[in-house]
Amino acid sequence: MASDLLSIGSSGVLAQQKLLYTTGNNISNVNTQGYTRQRTDLYTNTASLGVGMSNTQRLLNNYSQREMWRDTSGVQMYQTAYQQLNSTDQFLSSDANSLNPALSSYFSALDTVNESPNSTGTRQTLMGAMQDLVNRFNTASSTLTQQQTGINSNIESEVKSVNQLLGGISDLNQQILKAPKNSDGTSLNLMDQRDEMIRQLAEKMDIRTVAQDNGTTLVNLSSGESLVLANGAASVSVTTGDPDTTQTGLQVQIGSSKASIATDNLGGKLGGYYQARDNLAPVQREVGQLALALADAMNQQNSKGMTPNSTLGGDLFTLPSSTGLPSSKNTGTGAIQVSVIPGQGSNLTPNDFQVEFSSSTNYQVYMMQDGKKVSVSSGSTPPNQLQLSSYGIQLDFSGTPNAGDTMLLQPTKNAASGLGLAISSTDEIALAAPVTGSASSSNYGSGKISLAGVYNTGTGSGISSSSLASSAPQQVKINSSGDYEVYDGSGTLIGTAPASTKGQNLFANLLDSSGSKVYSNVQTTPGFDFNVSGTVKANDTFSIAFNTGGVNDNFNGLALSGLQSQDLVRKGTATGSGATQSFSEAFSSTMASLGSTVSGLNTGYSAADAKLTQSTQTLNSESGVSLDEEASNLIRFQQAYAASAQIITAARSVFDTLLSAAR
Amino acid sequence: MRITTGMMYDRSLSTLMKSNERLSKASDQANTLQKFTTAGEAPAGMAQKLNLTAEIARYQQYASNGTSLQGKLSQEETVLDSLNTAMGSAYTKVQQIVNGTNNSTDDRQALASELEELQKHMLDLMNSRDDAGEYLFSGSQSNTPAFALDSSGQYQYQGDSVQRSTQVSQTVKIASNDPGDALFQNVATARTASSSTMSSISVADNSAFSSFYASRYDSANSANNTFTVATVAGSPDTYQVKDASGNVLQSGNYTQGDDISFNGLKLNPGVSAGSSSTFSLDAPKSDNVLNTLSNMISALRDPTQSTDQINALAATTQIHLSNSQNSVNQTTGTVGARLSSLDSITSSNTNLSAISQQKKADVSEMDLYEAITNLTKENNALDTARQSYALINKSTLFDYM
């Protein structure tokens, strides 16, 4: 036996020292981020007596750790998306920025003007309310744009730190490979550092890890792309959106091979940013759709009225048009301008469109709906204009496209920021009806004539800018059978409305001598209609004229204000009855859908956070430092150390005794 | 489960933070008394709140429209009332002539001056303006006075026939003005008959003639408005009044030169028995009362006018006055009807608005007591969390070593 008491004692002292080092390391790292509790196991000496080898290891459950990383990605994803969308929600929910209060005060001002159409003061108030409405649309849209720009720059800075982390993880993997095994635990600290970096990477995106036998860890994206490999790291970069440059994407590059990354299920902060951006786009398009539908309806109605200057009204708002975005792969020079077909604002949908050219003249139009392409039309140029009236837009083609070229059309995306006020004077608000009727003072009957409606003042209508066309109905005369004869400006009989109509909607019921309708559609020609009510007698006459000087009329003003309760905004791509909603309902439903996204994210965040807390606790329960435990260990190891030291003392006294015995 | 030092701090801290967050929300709710401020907190609630807010704003607008409409209609009612009084007193003044009590030149002059004052008063009322300076009775041409003298000395209506409306509820519009043409200008004057063959024809009894005119006048076929007085020589001479189809309407003895009374008309064919003559009903005419009064006034000031002429004119003037008065009174009636329907719509709006306010409160507003209770509860929870933090993290084993 080659063992002696001294070496037994010294092996014990050294071993207890090691235990004390480990305990000390644990105590001092109690607050270190990512630190894993270490434990030193001692083994008996197999060759002789005394303590043999010691092994220091991390107390870690790999499964819990991976779960914690996954949950970290989830929490970060929900939190980031929630924070981004919640700020939009707060912005649009506040009374100072919400569109509904501006809509209400606009229509209130309109109603007040209708009470005194000839007052400049109330007209000024109305114009102020219009400007405020325009400003709110502009602000809402530009805030949404800014937010998306902000998200894009956040994505870029996140991608920078992702690359740093990837490099760091790869470096640490190399150091771990080189570090001596079974030493004082230095390599264990390296692993802790690496794992902390992986956790930080999990904050940015959802990842999967593969632990190698040599102590290194490989990292993949949850969708499979390699990020950290055995011999190096990939780099992630932001790619410019195509054709919409603001829709940036991600790609991963290893050596010279590149692959783009799907951003819709990325997880982590990056995934949160992409989710927020994907949710902001429809909000912005819906706000744009509302702006266009409102402005178009107002413009149409204003053009059916007469201004205080006794001329027909024009546009109240300017509707922006947008330019189709060409794909970067396009080789031709084709370009498309998209604008709203006047009067078709209620057919607009909050969708983007794509045009694909199969040759320089043939094209196919698709609507982008829930990420899918739905074919809506096809055609060829010339003509250089395509009207998609079921979607309210018209496309103006120019240039020469090549086969395979594509264009992205965004009729609504930036519409709300391009909305403007078209009028510069309160005199351009057309509150009066452009035509008026009156009973002749020599009438024997007591009938009254009243305007039934003005439907069209443009092409086909009998109303020109400040007068009635001579071909338009200008006189109604009751004949001996009580029928209503209608004459034009030169006194020629246009047709007769039978007495059975009781004078209601005269022109719609006008029959010619052969008994067929004179006006197939009064909505177009003559574009207006009159009612004669009350008792009429033969030879009573009623004249119809341009309402020159009718400054105190509010016929069209009431129609303008009536748009408030009309359903003029399409619900998505719905068709048929009930497919449209009022302006304020449209904004409410936009807010409701944004709100439910935000609320869903908040719920998701709470759930993910609870899950992370739980998995962190499971992990910490095993890997965390307990000071109480370490205190007790400290006492225990101290005592063992002292005892081992006593063995050396005993060995010495034994040796001394032996020496003195031999003396 | 093994509890580590970090876990103890983390757990206590997360409890504290959650309590803080809940307290902050409870305090927000108590301060604003709103259940939510963003759509994310209550998506459906926010949509409802937005819709209800818009609805309440509309009701408020209807209420303010109604107030302004009430002012306008009340003003119109007052003006029409004064006009009614003025027309009534003009009628009475003219009656003095018919009664024959005042028929000297001086009296005529005095009466003319009185009528002139009344006429000015009526013109003033017809050209009334509202608080914004708009002429009430000019239709939409409210920059122009309703009535003005033209170059030939006639009062002419200068407005149009536009009747404005006010939106007082989602579906109801109430007319807010009455244009002067139907109200004042197109008022039927006394009906007349004329003849090119008789030696004289005049209206002796206006009311009898008016009802005859109303039953016989044919605006479609003017031939039906011509009547024939055929005389037959005999002993005695007789006459027959026949309509255009030859039906005998009246017959009797005829003496050349004597008047025949026929439905309020005084006919003097002036022909010898055996001949016939014709007369016809004149087409209906209408005018404003101002011109009729002008005619009356200038006749009264004309010394060449005989008492009979003055009396005949007075009679037709009275008819037009009372027609005008009728038109004014009818309009007063419709204005009153509009005011009363406005009243009922306003009160129904108030009720509907109250219901919407209540709904909005239910959806989005916090009950004060509930809010305060919540606040207290959350505050206590935070206190407890703090105490437990202090208790749990007070000491470690090291303190005892």
Which of A101, A444, A552 comes nearest B134 by C-beta?
A552
Residues of chain B contacting A593 with CB distance shorter than 8 Å: 43
Residues of chain B contacting A443 with CB distance shorter than 8 Å: 186, 284, 286
- Mark yes or no for CB contact B170/A448 under 8 Å: no
**Residue A1 — pLDDT band, cuts 50, 70, 90?**
very low
Which of A217, A134, A143 shows the shortest CA–CA distance to A176?
A: A217
Give the pLDDT confidence of B20-64 residue by residue, as tens digits: 999 998 998 888 888 888 888 888 899 999 999 999 999 999 999
Chain B interface includes A112 (CB < 8 A): yes
Which of B40, B48, B163 comes nearest A602 by C-beta?
B40
Sign of the dihedral defined by the CA atoms of residues B47, B48, B53, B59, in that order? positive
**Residue A382 — pLDDT band, cuts 50, 70, 90?**
confident
Which of A104, A602, A622 comes nearest B57 by C-beta?
A104
Which of B38, B68, B221 comes nearest A86 by C-beta?
B38
- Mark yes or no for CB contact B286/A441 under 8 Å: yes
- Give dist(CA A493, CA A496) in Å, integer: 8
Residues of chain A contacting B38 with CB distance shorter than 8 Å: 86, 89-90, 93, 595, 598
- Mark yes or no for CB contact B40/A599 under 8 Å: yes
Residues of chain A contacting B185 with CB distance shorter than 8 Å: 441
Which of B14, B43, B51 comes nearest A613 by C-beta?
B14
At a CB cut-off of 8 Å and minimum separation 6, what does A165 contact?
A: A197, A200, A201, A204
- Give dist(CA A23, CA A39) in Å, integer: 8
- Residue to mutate among B137, B161, B352, with most A CBs inside 10 A, is B161
**Residue B102 — pLDDT band, cuts 50, 70, 90?**
low
Give the pLDDT confidence of A118-155 residue by residue, as tens digits: 888 899 999 999 999 999 999 999 999 999 999 999 99
Residues of chain A contacting B67 with CB distance shorter than 8 Å: none
Name the 3-class secondary structure at A245. coil
Give the pLDDT confidence of A100-128 residue by residue, as tens digits: 999 999 999 999 999 889 888 899 999 99
- Mark yes or no for CB contact A594/B40 under 8 Å: yes
Strand partners, A453: A529
pLDDT for position A301: 95
Give the pLDDT confidence of A479-511 residue by residue, as tens digits: 988 899 999 999 999 999 999 999 999 999 999
CB pairs under 8 A between A and B: 239
Cα distance from B384 to chain A (closest Cα, Å)?
A: 21
In this structure, what DSSP letter does residue A446 have? -
- Mark yes or no for CB contact B161/A555 under 8 Å: no
- Please state the φ and ψ torsions of residue B149, each to the nearest 5 degrees: -75, 135
Asked whether B263 and B210 are in contact (CB, 8 A), the reply is no
Asked whether A194 and A172 are in contact (CB, 8 A), the reply is yes
**Residue B388 — pLDDT band, cuts 50, 70, 90?**
confident
Which chain B residue is nearest to residue A618, measuring alpha carbons? B1
Which chain A residue is nearest to residue B327, measuring alpha carbons? A446
Give the pLDDT confidence of A64-90 residue by residue, as tens digits: 999 999 999 999 999 999 999 999 999
Residues of chain B contacting A617 with CB distance shorter than 8 Å: 1, 7, 11
- Mark yes or no for CB contact A622/B182 under 8 Å: no
Chain B interface includes A438 (CB < 8 A): yes
Distances in Å between the Cα of A398 and the Cα atoms of A322, A339, A381, A414 are: 14, 14, 9, 22
Which of A218, A213, A215 shows the shortest CA–CA distance to A229?
A: A218
Which chain B residue is nearest to residue A33, measuring alpha carbons? B6
- Mark yes or no for CB contact B51/A602 under 8 Å: no
Residues of chain A contacting B9 with CB distance shorter than 8 Å: none
- For residue A517, the tally of other CB atoms under 10 A from its CB is 14
Chain B interface includes A610 (CB < 8 A): no
Which of A111, A540, A624 comes nearest B61 by C-beta?
A111
Residues of chain B contacting A534 with CB distance shorter than 8 Å: none
Give the pLDDT confidence of A23-63 residue by residue, as tens digits: 999 999 988 888 999 999 999 888 888 888 888 888 998 89
Cα distance from B389 to chain A (closest Cα, Å)?
A: 17
In this structure, what DSSP letter does residue A434 have? S
pLDDT for position A65: 93
Q: What is the mean pLDDT of chain B?
A: 89
Which of A553, A571, A455, A470 shows the shortest CA–CA distance to A505?
A: A455
Predicted ipTM of the assembly: 0.82
- Give dist(CA A276, CA A297) in Å, integer: 32
- Mark yes or no for CB contact A598/B3 under 8 Å: no
Residues of chain A contacting B392 with CB distance shorter than 8 Å: none
Cα distance from A589 to chain B (closest Cα, Å)?
A: 6
The enclosing H or E element of A138 equals helix A120-178
Which of A568, A533, A565, A530 shows the shortest CA–CA distance to A547?
A: A530
Chain B interface includes A553 (CB < 8 A): yes
- What would the mean pLDDT of B289-301 be, rounded to a whole number? 93
At a CB cut-off of 8 Å and minimum separation 6, what does A125 contact?
A: A109, A112, A113
Which chain B residue is nearest to residue A95, measuring alpha carbons? B37
Residues of chain A contacting B63 with CB distance shorter than 8 Å: none
Residues of chain A contacting B218 with CB distance shorter than 8 Å: 538
Which chain A residue is nearest to residue B285, measuring alpha carbons? A442
Residues of chain A contacting B44 with CB distance shorter than 8 Å: 592, 595-596
The string over A548-572, giving b where at least 16 C-beta atoms fall within 10 Å of a residue's C-beta and e elsewhere, is bbbbbbbbbbbbbbebbbebbbbbb
Cα distance from B226 to chain A (closest Cα, Å)?
A: 17
- Mark yes or no for CB contact B186/A547 under 8 Å: no
Which chain B residue is nearest to residue A626, measuring alpha carbons? B4
Annotate A556-591 with DSSP letters as a single string: HHHHHHHGGGS--EE-TT--STT-EE-HHHHHHHHH
Q: Is B83 exposed, middle or buried (0-12, 13-18, 19+ CB in 10 A)?
A: buried
Give the pLDDT confidence of A585-615 residue by residue, as tens digits: 999 999 999 999 999 999 999 999 999 999 9
Cα distance from B166 to chain A (closest Cα, Å)?
A: 7
Residues of chain A contacting B6 with CB distance shorter than 8 Å: 30-31, 620, 624-625
- Mark yes or no for CB contact A86/B40 under 8 Å: yes
Chain B interface includes A439 (CB < 8 A): yes
- Give dist(CA A50, CA A95) in Å, integer: 80
- Give dist(CA B34, CA B360) in Å, integer: 11
Residues of chain B contacting A561 with CB distance shorter than 8 Å: 167
Residues of chain B contacting A31 with CB distance shorter than 8 Å: 6
Give the pLDDT confidence of A178-229 residue by residue, as tens digits: 887 655 667 888 899 999 999 999 999 999 999 988 889 999 999 889 999 9
Which chain B residue is nearest to residue A82, measuring alpha carbons? B40
Task: Flag whether the pTM goes above 0.90.
Answer: no
Q: What is the mean pLDDT of chain A?
A: 91
pLDDT for position A182: 59
**Residue A2 — pLDDT band, cuts 50, 70, 90?**
very low
At a CB cut-off of 8 Å and minimum separation 6, what does B179 contact?
A: B137, B138, B139, B159, B160, B161, B162, B163
Annotate B201-266 with DSSP letters as a single string: EEES-HHHHHHHHHHH--SS-GGGGEEEEEEE-SSS-EEEEE-TT--EEEEEE--TTS-EEETTEE
Residues of chain B contacting A94 with CB distance shorter than 8 Å: 37
Look up residue A132 and give its two tokens: 């405020």
Which chain A residue is nearest to residue B186, measuring alpha carbons? A441
pLDDT for position B147: 94
Cα distance from A571 to chain B (closest Cα, Å)?
A: 15
